[in-house]
Amino acid sequence: MDREAAQSRADWLREEINFHSHRYFVLDSPLISDAQFDHLVDELHEIEQQFPELVTPDSPTQRVQGQPAEGFSKVAHPAPILSLDKVTSREQIFAWHNRVSKLLPQEAESLASETLDYVVEPKLDGLTVVLHYDRGRFVLGATRGDGQVGEDITTNLRTLATLPLRIPVSNDGPEIPASLVVRGEVLILIDDFAALNAGLIAAGEMPFANPRNAAAGSLRQLDARITAQRPLRLFVYSVVEKTGPALLTQCETLAYLRDLGFPVTEEVRTFESLDDVAHYCETMVEQRNTLPYEADGLVIKIDDLATSESLGVVGGRPRGAVAYKFPAQEAITRLKAVEFTLGRTGVITPAAILEPVPIAGVIVSRASLHNFDVVDERDIRVGDRVIVKRAGDVIPYVSGPVVAAREGSEQEIIPPTTCPSCKEPVSHPEGEVAYYCINVACPAQLVQKLTFFAAVMDIEGIGERTALQLVDQGLVKDPVDLYTLQKEALLELEGFADKKADNLLGAIEASKAQPFTRVLAALGIRGVGFAVAALLTAAFPSLDALCSALAEEIASVEGLGPITAQNIINWFALPRNQAIVEKLRGAGLTLSAPEASAPAPNSQPLAGMTFVITGTLSRPRNEVQQWIETQGGKVTGSVSAKTDYLVIGEEPGGSKFRRAQQLGTPMVSEEELGHLAEEVTT
Ligand code: IVH
């Protein structure tokens, strides 16, 4: 390839990669597979390696290349990055409104209560960033700093997959302004945060206290390669400065930013009455935990930007918007005791027993202490007054002690030397954070394993209590013993009468029909959940095939890696697990996957059909897409003559909807989509 050909191929690849990463990360609606995407990036990398002079700072390959910086240089913001006044109640919302409407010009004031529109957005609890675009290229990104001067974190921001390096992302987007500065928030989604912390704990590192700290710590890394590994997300919500025609309303601003290719949160509402605004704020207090990220409140904005700006700024806070703060999801209470609990894999974790305290409407009397390293690092002691937090739907956790409230009688928390259940010595492997009970016959672990097995195999009637009874009476020594249970023995257990015993035995019998993938997931092999089990059974369609597989063979399955492979090999190598495998063979369970070449009739009811999705669905769009694909269907990004159905959610997008109308494409709701699959099946 000569230089000229390389240049034009690289340009094409960059455009293609930017387009597809926007589809994937921002719209949640990819048009190509991950492997195809990686291919494009690999090809661009190769060209850039061959012709280093062709590398541009906004090339998508630069997202992960950041070299350690020396510290951050300072950046003066083009306009002050203001903060907001706060309100916490309906009354205060009205008081804010009364205050500001007095400042409106006379005629506007009299009209204010009737004509003002309001936009309400989540107050994202992350880090404020200011992003500069020069003729569509991302050239500079800064933290808020003191509102006048921030820090240059451009290299780190380039690593964010949702940050457009070049705008507009799509060809039919708005015209590029010569210069554009936008403001947004960088954060970590609650689910990503939980996974990030689990990974840090497993690697023996300190977990973050909350998503905000995790985002801040990740974004201000001097080494951008670390930032690149963190699941940071960007949402933008305002234009700080822009050349060209002015935007008139906040609604228009959000739509404009979205059209340019910026990620904008979907949870935005407009209202015509302040009463509706207040009502919405109150209902969102209850629903804050349904948001995918942490929001510490809502921001109420006067939609008309000229009106909003005419109100001016007082004490660094614009009058045209106000933050409605949610009540804190934290409280201070006394740590009464620490309980050591045992997990299915033998890990012993400390749990905090608290003096009961209400936090955002829920009485909390127990909370997570993460692990013993965290307890040690934060110096949490029994008897301390501690700060307890709730975030999203995550279990409450102790974030730290109130050291100033100590009385001197507080007791250090010492990791146990013996298992809380079987009293055998505990193991604390060198270099690991966890403390383990390694006794294979430990009853508490068995109880956990049994309830897990029953839950995965969908055996109703085996909760912790029954599992404990079965283990205590020696009826079950491993989960597969369930299949040898006799009715007479069950009737001996407290609370078991004829009907209950029959029901349980019926449920156990029915579980024999569960597919091989479930059986495999139910065994509780470390790292083998449903998704991994499905990959395994596709590659090794029987228990025999899997038992005799080599670590390299397992590791070479796409989606698996050497660590999972080694866990599987280790599990099958243990004599007690070999005994379980032998019992499984005799128990009449399904131990092979149906042949891929002869699928069950109509297992793919949507085969050959093409779908397009528009609007908000009850589940994330990629989940619905995945479901359609497992049913054999295909999802594409735009409506054409080849589209069989347009799936319509709430607030469907205009262009797809109109095109479907023009073409006469049938439209179905999410519910009808489900029926469609069933109809074809029956
Ligand atoms: S608008 C001039 N909208 O909350 C008005 N701010 O004190 C600028 N924040 O740190 C703020 N989500 O960065 C606005 N949807 C949102 C926001 C938001 C989070 C942050 C903001 C600032 C604080 C407000």
Q: Give the SS3 label for residue 447.
A: helix
What stretches of 171-243 adopt beta strand conformation (E)? 179-188, 232-242
Give domain 443-513's CATH architecture: Orthogonal Bundle (1.10)
**Cβ(128) to ligand 1 under 6 A?**
yes
Q: How much is the pLDDT for 77?
A: 94
pLDDT tens for 479-496 read 999 999 999 999 999 999
- Closest to 188 in 3D by CA, of 358, 27, 391: 391
**Cβ(346) to ligand 1 under 6 A?**
no
Q: How much is the pLDDT for 676?
A: 78
pLDDT tens for 4-47 read 999 999 999 998 888 888 776 666 566 777 777 878 888 998 89
Q: Which amino acid is at 580?
A: I
Whether residue 652 contacts residue 661, with contact meaning beta carbons closer than 8 Å, is answered with: no
**Cβ(237) to ligand 1 under 6 A?**
yes
CA–CA dist 365, 381 (Å, integer): 17
Task: Write down the domain spans for the chain.
Answer: 3-62, 86-325, 330-420, 443-513, 516-597, 610-681
Q: Which amino acid is at 487?
A: K
Q: Model confidence at 524, in pLDDT bands (50, 70, 90)?
A: confident
CA–CA dist 128, 602 (Å, integer): 51
Which of 77, 81, 82, 84 best tests ligand 1's pocket when mutated (most atoms within 8 Å of CB)?
84
What does the mean pLDDT of the chain come to?
86
Protein residue closest via CA to atom 22 of ligand 1: 83
Cα 102 from chain centroid (whole Å):
44
Q: What is the DSSP letter of 169?
A: S
Whether residue 274 contacts residue 93, with contact meaning beta carbons closer than 8 Å, is answered with: yes
**Cβ(566) to ligand 1 under 6 A?**
no
DSSP β-ladder status, 435-437 and 347-359: antiparallel
Kindly give the number of the ligand 1 atom that is closest to the alpha carbon of 128: 13
395: which 2 tokens? 């279990």
Q: Is 123 a catalytic residue?
A: yes
For residue 587, the CA-to-ligand 1 centroid distance in Å is: 60
Q: Which residues contact 437 (CB under 8 A, 6 or more apart)?
A: 342, 346, 348, 419, 421, 422, 424, 426, 427, 444, 445
Cα 43 from chain centroid (whole Å):
30
| Whole-number Cα distances in Å, 544 to 547, 569, 588, 592 | 5, 13, 15, 9
- Averaged pLDDT for residues 498-527: 92
Q: Which of 102, 123, 583, 634 is catalytic?
A: 123
CA–CA dist 262, 654 (Å, integer): 18
Give domain 330-420's CATH architecture: Beta Barrel (2.40)
Percent of the chain with pLDDT over 90: 47
**CA-based R_g, the chain, Å:** 29
Render 93-106 in DSSP notation, one character per residue.
HHHHHHHHHTTS-H
Q: How much is the pLDDT for 490?
A: 95
- Closest to 271 in 3D by CA, of 294, 251, 292: 251
Q: Model confidence at 597, in pLDDT bands (50, 70, 90)?
A: very low
Whether residue 220 contacts residue 144, with contact meaning beta carbons closer than 8 Å, is answered with: no
Query: What residue has token string 């599990």?
Result: 571
**Backbone phi, then psi, for 266, in 5-degree steps?**
-85, -20
pLDDT over 50 at 635, yes or no: yes
Could you tell me if residue 664 is left (phi over 0), alpha (psi between -120 and 50 degrees) or otherwise beta?
left
Q: How much is the pLDDT for 66?
A: 44
More confident residue, 497 or 220: 497
- Closest to 129 in 3D by CA, of 188, 169, 182: 182
Kindly give the number of the ligand 1 atom that is closest to the alpha carbon of 317: 2
Which of 85, 123, 266 best tests ligand 1's pocket when mutated (most atoms within 8 Å of CB)?
123
| Whole-number Cα distances in Å, 623 to 192, 620, 669 | 16, 5, 15
The most confident of the ranges 226-240, 422-436, 555-569 is 226-240
595: which 2 tokens? 């042949």
- Averaged pLDDT for residues 592-599: 62
3-62: CATH number: 1.10.287.610
Q: How much is the pLDDT for 375?
A: 92
Terminal-to-terminal C-alpha distance of the chain? 56
**Class at the top of the CATH hierarchy for domain 86-325:** alpha beta
- Residue 532, exposed/middle/buried by CB under 10 A (0-12, 13-18, 19+)? buried
516-597: CATH number: 1.10.150.20
Q: What is the pTM of this model?
A: 0.57
Render 39-84 in DSSP notation, one character per residue.
HHHHHHHHHHHH-GGG--TT-GGGGG-PPPPSS--EEE-SS-----
pLDDT tens for 62-74 read 775 444 445 789 9
443-513 and 516-597: identical CATH topology: yes
CA–CA dist 117, 538 (Å, integer): 55
pLDDT tens for 169-209 read 777 778 899 999 999 999 999 888 888 887 776 666 667 77
Within 10 Å of residue 426's Cβ, how many Cβ atoms?
Answer: 19
Which of 81, 87, 131, 237 best tests ligand 1's pocket when mutated (most atoms within 8 Å of CB)?
237
Domain 610-681 has CATH 3.40.50.300: no
Whether residue 485 contacts residue 450, with contact meaning beta carbons closer than 8 Å, is answered with: no
Q: Which residues contact 459 (CB under 8 A, 6 or more apart)?
A: 453, 482, 504, 507, 508, 510, 511
CA–CA dist 226, 235 (Å, integer): 21
